[in-house]
Homo-oligomer: A and B are copies of this chain.
């Protein structure tokens, strides 16, 4: 059962994390994973072709945000939240809170 490479927590680079989360689609993946974990890629596709989805998951993995484990035919994704919290305390939660807040008011004053 072939698995993925994930950078060790010491190798996380803040700028890579911020870049990974600066894409709206990737941010939405992380938001959804924060609600339900783990999930395979399929329910997170959002209408995109598989090759695009795969690319975005690769960016998330390389930044250290997501861990992907092959379980049978599915690739189960989860957030590396504990490691992230240890390395950059409060970062993920604060960004997710900000993201939630952004969504509340996209249309009104």
The contact string, 1 if C-beta is below 8 Å from chain B, for chain A 77-109, is 000000000011111001101110110010001
Q: How many copies does the complex hold?
A: 2
Main secondary structure of the interface of A (DSSP, over half): helix
- Does any Cβ of B come within 8 Å of A15's Cβ? yes
- Does any Cβ of B come within 8 Å of A19's Cβ? yes
- Does any Cβ of B come within 8 Å of A29's Cβ? no
B97 & A89 in contact (Cβ 8 Å cutoff): yes
Residues on B with C-beta less than 8 A from A5 are none
Residues on B with C-beta less than 8 A from A60 are none
Interface residues of chain A, those whose CB is within 8 Å of chain B, are: 10, 13-16, 18-19, 21-24, 27, 87-91, 94-95, 97-99, 101-102, 105, 109
